[in-house]
A and B are shown apart, each in its own frame.
Chain A
Amino acid sequence: MTEDGIRCDGRRLDELRNISIKVGVLKNADGSAYIEFGKNKILAGVFGPRDVHPKHMANPDSGILRCRYHMSPFSVTERKNPAPSRREIEISKVIKEALQPAVILKDYPRTVIDVFIEVLQADGGSRCAALDAAAVALADAGIPMRDLVSACAAGKVADRIVLDVNNEEDQEGQADMPVALMPNLGKVTLLQLDGMLKPEEFKTCMQTALVGCKRVYEVQRKALMEKYFQNGEQ
């Protein structure tokens, strides 16, 4: 990083990577989204509500949410074994738990909502990008939601707090903190921290991440509006 705060990829400290989201890209899914978050390229597909298999997982009082985060073998420089790794299982779990407070499952007893996330190309911060795509795909599927979920990471690189850590900064940096937010309700649904931060650094890092989430929300919103109200007549 240069002294005036220009990062390795030319961004300022509080600058996000370029984000673009496309809604409804998979024909066979009930809802889907494709996100390009910097160099991350991620597909999310939502199936359901549908019958639960295996049946013993079904909950007679409410629906259940299942989530699979998967990285394609070609998504990273060295071929990745396609079998779910420990990291992928963890990310599937945190994404599920980050989406759960937003999704209203009570309306669909004995059913399941499946979220499949496929990382086609990874470049740091893929869990946040995956979560952003999954939230949009859920909305596209018409699953009732209390709010969208927007996620963005912040971290500490070369002793400075930066927004949206990329792969290189993640490797070299001192901390990486993914945060997911329900922007209208103002509730945080995911907070992880890898690395060490002083209390005051944590506060600025959190603030930075929340600002990032709100900016991501604007992109998500625009993508949904474009798909459903492209004519813009109101």
Chain B
Amino acid sequence: MMDVKRRYVIPGDVIATGPLRPEQNVFQDGDRMISTCVGISEIFENSVKVIPLTGGYMPKANDLVIGKVIGTSPLSWEFDINSCFVGFLPAQDVFGRDYSPTKDELRQRLDIGDLVAVRIANFDRSRDPLLTVQDRDLGKIDSGELIEISPSKVPRLIGKRGSMIQTIEMATKAIITIGQNGWIVISCEDSEGLLKAVEAVKMIDALAHTPNLTERVKSMLGVVDGENNDTIND
């Protein structure tokens, strides 16, 4: 952590020169490492990367995302996954191998407009992302509040090893499902806790690039929920 150098960059900024490896959002011009987006650059011992502050979601295999059903075809559902690509969920994934388009009705399981937690099973540049619900925690979401944040800020919402999200969940007793695509579902039995959690998530979205965010979120939540925190810690 000590030898990571951070800087605010915009496209075209030279982050460093020398024999380094360009990682995400960095492009190499000769021996210059150039940022390709607005974000925070990080220089490691032998690589450079930029954490973006803006931009849409680019699907990646194994990502958990929250999708909204936008249509069906005889063999699959089509999902809006907040990306420039449409996600496909094959009918067999839900109905099993003996699925038959004449017998089963797709709309009975997942109708248009339903929110579903899905995992991206496969994605490459030549095909649209293939989705799956075959895992624990996946499937239709029945209740909760949907919040949209910028997908580039999702890592900040989760925090280091989930520290940020745990803080919010513990302080508000809410259950938060985070999709890597920036769609987040918060459900909470207590309406006040729900409001607090929503507020905290929106605050992280707005202030994602500032340091000491965990502390600020804690103090924001702590005012009301300080006692709750203590009881949990006890």
Q: Considering the complex, which residues of chain A in the window 139-197 have a beta carbon less than 8 Å from any beta carbon of chain B?
A: 139-148, 182-185
Report the minimum CB–CB distance from B131 to chain A (whole Å). Answer: 17
**Which B residues are CB-close (under 8 A) to A229?**
8, 209
B27 beta carbon closer than 8 Å to chain A = yes
Q: Give the secondary structure class of B's interface.
A: loop
Nearest CB of chain B from residue A108's CB, rounded to whole Å: 6
Given contacts A107-B58, A145-B11, 17 further A-B contacts (CB under 8 A): A51-B86, A111-B84, A139-B37, A141-B54, A142-B55, A144-B37, A182-B12, A184-B13, A185-B34, A221-B10, A224-B10, A225-B8, A225-B10, A228-B8, A231-B210, A234-B6, A234-B8
Interface residues of B in 2-38 (CB under 8 A from A): 6-8, 10-14, 25, 27, 29, 34, 36-38
B13 neighbours in A (Cβ, 8 Å): 184
A212 CB within 8 Å of chain B? no
User: Which of B's residues lie within 8 Å of A, judged by CB?
Assistant: 6-8, 10-14, 25, 27, 29, 34, 36-38, 52-56, 58, 84-86, 125-126, 152, 209-211
Query: Which one of A104, A148, A228 lies within 8 Å of B53 (CB-CB)?
Result: A228
User: Which residues on the B side are within 8 Å of A102 (C-beta)?
Assistant: 11
B90 to chain A, nearest CB (A): 20
Asked if B84 and A48 make an inter-chain contact with CB atoms under 8 angstroms apart, the answer reads yes
The answer to whether A60 touches B126, judged by C-beta atoms less than 8 angstroms apart, is yes
Say yes or no: B84 contacts A148, CB within 8 Å: no
Contact A146 B27 (CB under 8 A): yes
How far, in angstroms, from A79 to B62 measured CA to CA in the complex? 55
Picked from B6, B14, B54, the residue with its CB within 8 Å of the CB of A184 is B14
Asked if A184 contacts B8 (CB within 8 A), the reply is no
Confirm or deny: A49 has a beta carbon within 8 angstroms of a beta carbon on chain B. Answer: yes
A-side contacts of B56, CB under 8 Å? 30, 49, 142
Which A residues lie within 8 Å of B152 (CB)? 142
Question: Contact: B210 with A228, CB < 8 Å?
Answer: no
Contact residues in A for B25 (Cβ distance below 8 Å): 144
Q: Are B84 and A50 in contact (CB under 8 A)?
A: yes
Given known A49-B84, A185-B29, contact A144–B36 (CB-CB < 8 A):
yes
| CB of A18, distance to nearest CB on chain B (Å) | 22
User: What is the CA–CA distance of A108 and B84 in the complex, to the nearest angstrom?
Assistant: 8
With an 8 A cutoff between CB atoms, is A73 at the interface? Answer: no
- Judge whether A233 is part of the interface by a CB distance below 8 angstroms: yes
- What is the total of A-B residue contacts with beta carbons within 8 Å? 86
Indicate if A101 sits at the interface (CB-CB under 8 A).
Answer: no
Number of interface residues of A (CB under 8 A): 36
Q: Which of A147, A225, A233 contacts B12 (CB 8 A)?
A: A147
Please, how many angstroms separate the alpha-carbon atoms of A181 and B17 in the complex?
22
Establish whether residues A228 and B54, one from each chain, have CB atoms under 8 Å apart when the complex forms: yes
Asked if B38 and A224 make an inter-chain contact with CB atoms under 8 angstroms apart, the answer reads yes
In the complex, the answer to whether A142 meets B52 with C-beta atoms within 8 Å is: yes
Q: Chain B's nearest CB lies how many Å from the CB of A105? A: 12
Name the distance in Å between A163's Cβ and chain B's nearest Cβ: 22
Question: Are the C-beta atoms of B36 and A145 separated by less than 8 Å?
Answer: yes
Indicate if A109 sits at the interface (CB-CB under 8 A). yes
Q: Do B8 and A139 touch (CB < 8 A)?
A: no
B34 A146 Cβ-Cβ under 8 A = yes
Verify if A31 is at the interface (C-beta below 8 Å from B). yes
> In whole angstroms, how far apart are the Cα atoms of A50 and B84 in the complex?
5
Q: A138 to chain B: closest CB distance in Å?
A: 8
With CB as the reference atom, state the residue of chain A lying closest to B26.
Answer: A144
A112 → B minimal CB distance (Å)? 9
- Whole-angstrom distance between the alpha carbons of A48 and B57 in the complex? 11
* Chain B positions within 8 Å of A104 at CB level: 27, 36
Task: Select from chain A the residue with minimum beta-carbon distance to B58.
Answer: A107
Contact between B11 and A148, CB atoms less than 8 A apart: yes
Complex-state Cα separation, A142 to B27, whole angstroms: 15
Q: Contact at B125–A109, with CB atoms within 8 Å?
A: yes
CB distance B37 to A142 under 8 Å?
A: yes
Of all chain B residues, the one with the shortest Cβ separation from A113 is: B84
Roughly how many angstroms separate A139 CA and B36 CA in the complex, as a whole number?
9
